[in-house]
Structure 1
Amino acid sequence: MAKVQKGTIPKVWRYIRRYRLLLILSMLFAAATVAMTLYLPILIGNAIDLIVSPGHVDFPGIRSLLIKIGIIAGCTGLTQWIMNMLNNRITYHIIRDVRQEAFGKLQILPLSYLDAHPSGSILSRIIADVDQFADGLLMGFTQLFTGVVTILGTLLFMLSISWKITLAVVLLTPLSLFIARFIARRTYSMFRLQSQVRGEQTALIDEMIGNQKVVQAFSHQAESMEQFDEINDRLARCSLQATFFSSITNPATRFVNSVVYASVALTGALMCISTAGAAVPFTVGQLSCFLSYANQYTKPFNEISGVITELQNALACAARIFELIEETPQIPDQTDAAELEHVAGNLSISDVSFSYVPDRKLIEHLNLIVKPGQRIAIVGPTGCGKTTVINLLMRFYDVDQGSISVEGKDIRNVTRHSLRSSYGMVLQETWLKAGTIRENICMGKPDATEEELLQASKAAHAHSFIKRLPQGYDTLIGEDGGSLSQGQKQLLCIARVMLCLPPMLILDEATSSIDTRTELKIQEAFSRMMQGRTSFIVAHRLSTIREADVILVMQDGHIIEQGNHDTLLAKNGFYANLYNSQFAR
């Protein structure tokens, strides 16, 4: 725990030092605020000493001191406001930088990380944990600086009045620090656990909201509630523990502070009595001043103990954010990576092996040669590796062994952008962003003309439903398609590919959400589009792949049969059983 905490603080400082100038200004204003705050008790003490006895009150002197007190109090308020403004600026600029870096890392993380971590947990780190970090950081800037300066300043002022009473104060103070440190060391792990469970809860809520139809369709509400209640109870216990132990700090330090205050009052009162007839007496005004300083001296310890508790929480949250920021990004393109040009569709897979988890083999020694214009259909039971082959072709994952080549070039030696721009993908899951229909279709070809846009939409049979929308192609849709039906969203994705017309196509259940009549028309459009283009078709409905030039039958990561539809049926093997099972009662 201590090691994690020590490692986190230098990382936080890396962001803070970008705003060194603002930090120095904040500290100067903090010093000015404290100096003026500490000067006020001296003026008040002097005013008290001008009240000697009934009839012996120096009203002109008191009036002059009150004017000074008013001016200094006003200046103190102004410098404190400027200090707080600077602290807010520093904090929220740091938070902006952290979020930008975290989101930037999200763009270059390998898919393996995103697949292994729930989106709700990542969301919790970037939003909730950063907010908690901001709260702790702001409190640290606002109270830690002023607290430390107040302690040092008060000590100097107290020493100038009486070193004896100052010694009593200083000897009792370490007790307060010991209590604060003792509790703070034990609360860090509790706040870190609280942050982790909060992320787990956010992930579950995000999953339930995104899949509410599935939950209700399978009557899984009770199980979901049980799962939520279990996490919620754990969060309640973690939060209660962390809050309870951290809340002990303030009362404990306040008790020590009260002992210090009582000691100062008693010692000071005795000094007032014993020095009454001395040449330099210890006056009531000085005692009043000292009591004020005793309060001001011990108050920062109280605040700092509260700040330390908040900082434990902030550092625990910061550690989770930095875990994300420091994750290993995807392997960048090689410095001498080539650009894929004039892609005809020649592709070869040579002795490829791959697995998501090292101890669970998936694809082993896969070999395939594809010629330009061929239609390659991939079929097989769920989990056999169909979608994994697509992930490897697009280089969303790198192969563990072997190589994949396009136009004779290993895809690891070409830029990802040129590789992926050579493919057009239509998947069962739709990819739409918040924006207009036009922007979503033109995502892969922003400079497309109006005529090209209309042709692609008509070819995808999306034009008719788009024209019925309130603003046609300029209709705004929300994230992931908003209120559009699943079929309409899929038509937009098909139109997007038809607009780009890349040399190679990947169709993974591309018409799964479309009605049968529209599907027949789109299959015709696909047939025209696939002419002369290398195409990979993944489908569970075997009726959609009968026209493929080559059908690859996969099982447990291996190609067990290969050929066209008629050849494979004649073999009466795995494909024939799979195909005939569609018609079995």
Structure 2
Amino acid sequence: MAKERVTEVRHGGPGGGPRGFAKPKETSKTLKRLLKYIFEYKLHLIIIIIAIIGSSLSGVAGTYFLKPIINNYVVPFIGKENPDLSGFVRMIGVMSAVYIVGVICSFTYNRLMLTISTGTMRKIRVDMFKHLQNLPIKYYDTHTHGEIMSRFTNDTDTLREMLSQGLPHFISSAITVAGVFIMMVVLSPILTLLVIFMFSIMIFAIKKIGGKSSHYFKKQQKELGSFNGYIEEMIEGQKVVKVFSHEETVKENFNEINERLRQAASSANTFASILMPIMGNLSYVHYALTATAGAVLAVAGYMDLGTIGSYLQYTRSFSQPITQLSQQLNSVLTALAGAERIFNLLDETPEVDNGYVTLVDAEIDDNGNIVEVSHRTGIWAWKHPHSDGTLTYTEVSGDVRFEDVTFGYDENKTVLNSINLFAKSGQKIAFVGSTGAGKTTITNLINRFYDVPDGKILYDGININKIKKDDLRRSLAMVLQETHLFTGTIMENIRYGKLDATDEEVIEAAKLANAHSFIQHMPEGYNTILTSDGINLSQGQRQLLAIARATVADPPVLILDEATSSIDTRTESLIEKGMNTLMKGRTVFVIAHRLSTVRNANAIMVLENGKIIERGNHDDLIEQKGKYYQLYTGMFELS
């Protein structure tokens, strides 16, 4: 099935620099859902809000103390030889106390926001990971791994930064700007008109320069994606590059991509770097104009020195929060866009399971009846509740039948057309045919990775739609063409097929799969640690471990999807006996391009365009001299 190509877009400038932000589509909805997580820390939030207000207002109030200090103490002391400084010292002490309260409040809300942000991120990651386990295989077939991983990395990281720093600083800056502006109006409405004029210029500068910066950062991120993709592709394909001596061409292409990235990064960082100096210089111009206007008003008798001193300090502390508000707003919007993508993942429809037939351990009593037991007996049974309240037990034998099954991954295109087949208990059924004929799709349907819209699949006479998916899959074991090994010991990787398997059972399974020999030669034997999907093993050895993993599960039905594709002919012959032992008494479905592996199958199904065009054992199909004969004799090759 063709997978949808999804382009991953990373947010954030290199080195934590300014970002080309993406706005969320539904800001209010996303914010409400995010607040549900945050409101789990209600007491923390109350303290944080009080602390933010206290921190912001302490800075505003502390500046106002300059007016009484100058008017009541500094000016009257001019010309006095021995002024009484007691009142001045008390006022300085009160002013210091206000600032100290602000420092304590600032520390408090920053520390508590860290607790909230890390706790919220933990809860969101847990919810995402749990939800991923409940999503159908179709979701993973239509979304790239990079796209899914970006939810756990880029999006959660920007969200964490917003919660721990951006949001509290945004609120603090907003309160500070509001408080400073109110105090400016109180101190001098006339000078505040100048503030409004300069404020308009600052907003215009932020909009123009910030817009340019955002545009080029988006371009930089696009070029960075191409840059990283090219490097990854060239590293993975180094053997091919060297075989065809294309090193120089690769270097030229790299230089071209690298230059595009340099130009985009240069433009982005140029605009980002000049914003703060421009805002700083505008604030100095504002300060100079305010000082000049204040001096004129003071000379004219409309303003005292204390008011001018406080007002000038407010002027200095007014422009910085405005710049911070602009940058933090971008940060908040970027984080909310990431949160929206996270919630979109959480809104994906989970895998539906309406099954009610379960798999239980059983034993046969003296009267020949199947009895459910709580311990492992080696006998499994389907526990089937009926509408009249009765229960029936059916021993699991591995009888699988397809009846008029039609299926397509896309509603507009069918992959299987009216498939009818049966596999009796203990039979080995092989599927051969060209790529895309529908071989793997059949095994996906047996597992209920996808549900059948037309027709039905019976397992021991029970429609598999009635069987709970977990129980159905426990009765099956698969060995896939692409082996996946987890980080851990060889023993743990084999035991993944049956988590309660003893060491002896694991070793026996490895012997059946003929993996025991090479495992013994590993540095730590079964305790050898595997990393990076078993990079320290050959492809054949990895496949043998996958077969051992299926063996230890001891299921009644076994699915081998190109299970020996990565094993050389010699290794294949070595495991043939073990595989034959493994397949005894089990229903086995085999998909293979190597036709020599299916000669001993009870029935071979030849598929083409989603239909079974030939069926029979090896000898029958050879006599028919049809498609299988052509494939086997090399007159027609599988593709």
Provide the TM-score with structure 2 as the length reference: 0.80
Measure the CA separation in 2 of the matches of 1:204 and 1:356: 31
Secondary structure, counterpart of 2:58 in structure 1: helix
Measure the CA separation in 1 of the matches of 2:343 and 2:532: 28
Structure 1 residue 197, shift from structure 2 partner: 7.3
Secondary structure, counterpart of 1:403 in structure 2: strand
2:53 to 12, 28, 31: 31
1:539 to 592, 599, 614: 592
One-letter amino acid matched to 2:64:
I
Measure the CA separation in 2 of the matches of 1:9 and 1:112: 29
Structure 1 residue 504, shift from structure 2 partner: 0.5
Measure the CA separation in 2 of the matches of 1:214 and 1:524: 37
Alignment of 1:397-408 (within 5 A): 397-408=450-461
Structure 1 residues 390 and 222: alpha-carbon distance in aligned structure 2, compared to 1, 3 A threshold: farther
Listed one character per residue, the Cα deviations across residues 68-116 of structure 1 (whole Å, up to 9, x for unaligned) are 4444433332321222112222223333333333333332332223223
Q: More deviation in 434-443 or 172-181?
A: 172-181
Measure the CA separation in 1 of the matches of 2:232 and 2:300: 72
Structure 1 residues 569 and 219: alpha-carbon distance in aligned structure 2, compared to 1, 3 A threshold: farther
Q: More deviation in 158-167 or 505-514?
A: 158-167
* Paired position in structure 2 for 1:278: none
Secondary structure, counterpart of 2:533 in structure 1: helix
Alignment of 1:93-492 (within 5 A): 93-166=119-192, 168-170=194-196, 173=199, 176-177=202-203, 180=206, 257=283, 260-275=286-301, 282-330=303-351, 332-334=352-354, 336=356, 338-339=358-359, 341=382, 342-492=395-545
One-letter amino acid matched to 1:120:
G
Structure 1 residue 511, shift from structure 2 partner: 2.3
Listed one character per residue, the Cα deviations across residues 246-267 of structure 1 (whole Å, up to 9, x for unaligned) are 6776567656655654453334
Alignment of 1:498-577 (within 5 A): 498-577=551-630
* Paired position in structure 2 for 1:40: 62
One-letter amino acid matched to 1:16:
I
Secondary structure, counterpart of 2:65 in structure 1: helix
Which structure has more helix as a fraction of its residues?
A: 1
One-letter amino acid matched to 2:573:
L
Listed one character per residue, the Cα deviations across residues 311-357 of structure 1 (whole Å, up to 9, x for unaligned) are 33333433333333333333x21164544723211111122222233
**Do 2:355 and 2:465's aligned partners in 1 also have CA atoms closer than 8 Å?**
no
Measure the CA separation in 1 of the matches of 2:139 and 2:232: 18
Q: More deviation in 4-13 or 25-34?
A: 4-13
Structure 1 residue 533, shift from structure 2 partner: 1.0
Secondary structure, counterpart of 1:51 in structure 2: helix
Structure 1 residue 168, shift from structure 2 partner: 4.9
* Paired position in structure 2 for 1:76: 102
Structure 1 residues 377 and 208: alpha-carbon distance in aligned structure 2, compared to 1, 3 A threshold: farther
**Do 2:216 and 2:264's aligned partners in 1 also have CA atoms closer than 8 Å?**
yes
**Do 1:151 and 1:297's aligned partners in 2 also have CA atoms closer than 8 Å?**
yes
Measure the CA separation in 1 of the matches of 2:260 and 2:411: 32
CA RMSD of aligned residues (A): 3.5
Provide the TM-score with structure 1 as the length reference: 0.87
Measure the CA separation in 2 of the matches of 1:233 and 1:104: 42
One-letter amino acid matched to 1:463:
H
Structure 1 residue 439, shift from structure 2 partner: 1.1
One-letter amino acid matched to 2:317:
Q
Structure 1 residues 243 and 343: alpha-carbon distance in aligned structure 2, compared to 1, 3 A threshold: farther
Q: More deviation in 60-69 or 438-447?
A: 60-69
**Do 2:110 and 2:164's aligned partners in 1 also have CA atoms closer than 8 Å?**
no
**Do 1:188 and 1:312's aligned partners in 2 also have CA atoms closer than 8 Å?**
no
Equivalenced residues, count: 578
* Paired position in structure 1 for 2:13: none
* Paired position in structure 1 for 2:74: 51
One-letter amino acid matched to 2:74:
I
**Do 1:378 and 1:536's aligned partners in 2 also have CA atoms closer than 8 Å?**
yes
Measure the CA separation in 2 of the matches of 1:507 and 1:251: 66
Q: Which runs of 5+ in 2 are unaligned?
A: 1-22, 360-380, 383-394
* Paired position in structure 2 for 1:16: 38
One-letter amino acid matched to 2:152:
I
Measure the CA separation in 2 of the matches of 1:260 and 1:517: 84
**Do 1:347 and 1:405's aligned partners in 2 also have CA atoms closer than 8 Å?**
yes
Measure the CA separation in 1 of the matches of 2:511 and 2:444: 30
One-letter amino acid matched to 2:145:
S
One-letter amino acid matched to 2:632:
Y
**Do 1:424 and 1:502's aligned partners in 2 also have CA atoms closer than 8 Å?**
yes
Secondary structure, counterpart of 2:57 in structure 1: helix
Structure 1 residue 16, shift from structure 2 partner: 2.9
**Do 1:173 and 1:256's aligned partners in 2 also have CA atoms closer than 8 Å?**
no
**Do 2:355 and 2:468's aligned partners in 1 also have CA atoms closer than 8 Å?**
no
Structure 1 residue 175, shift from structure 2 partner: 5.7
Measure the CA separation in 2 of the matches of 1:219 and 1:360: 43
Measure the CA separation in 1 of the matches of 2:518 and 2:625: 44
Structure 1 residues 137 and 253: alpha-carbon distance in aligned structure 2, compared to 1, 3 A threshold: farther
Structure 1 residues 506 and 84: alpha-carbon distance in aligned structure 2, compared to 1, 3 A threshold: same
Secondary structure, counterpart of 1:576 in structure 2: helix
**Do 1:120 and 1:204's aligned partners in 2 also have CA atoms closer than 8 Å?**
no
Structure 1 residue 498, shift from structure 2 partner: 1.7
Measure the CA separation in 2 of the matches of 1:199 and 1:92: 28
**Do 2:431 and 2:605's aligned partners in 1 also have CA atoms closer than 8 Å?**
yes
Secondary structure, counterpart of 2:457 in structure 1: strand
Measure the CA separation in 2 of the matches of 1:26 and 1:5: 23
One-letter amino acid matched to 1:333:
D
One-letter amino acid matched to 1:266:
T
Measure the CA separation in 1 of the matches of 2:344 and 2:245: 37
Structure 1 residues 244 and 393: alpha-carbon distance in aligned structure 2, compared to 1, 3 A threshold: farther
Structure 1 residue 460, shift from structure 2 partner: 1.6
Q: More deviation in 244-253 or 69-78?
A: 244-253
Secondary structure, counterpart of 1:87 in structure 2: helix
Measure the CA separation in 2 of the matches of 1:432 and 1:382: 25
2:114 to 68, 78, 88: 88
Structure 1 residue 492, shift from structure 2 partner: 1.4
Structure 1 residue 549, shift from structure 2 partner: 0.5
One-letter amino acid matched to 2:65:
L
**Do 1:373 and 1:532's aligned partners in 2 also have CA atoms closer than 8 Å?**
yes
Measure the CA separation in 2 of the matches of 1:222 and 1:14: 55
**Do 2:110 and 2:165's aligned partners in 1 also have CA atoms closer than 8 Å?**
no
* Paired position in structure 1 for 2:8: none
Structure 1 residues 246 and 114: alpha-carbon distance in aligned structure 2, compared to 1, 3 A threshold: farther
Measure the CA separation in 2 of the matches of 1:201 and 1:302: 32
Measure the CA separation in 2 of the matches of 1:124 and 1:225: 29
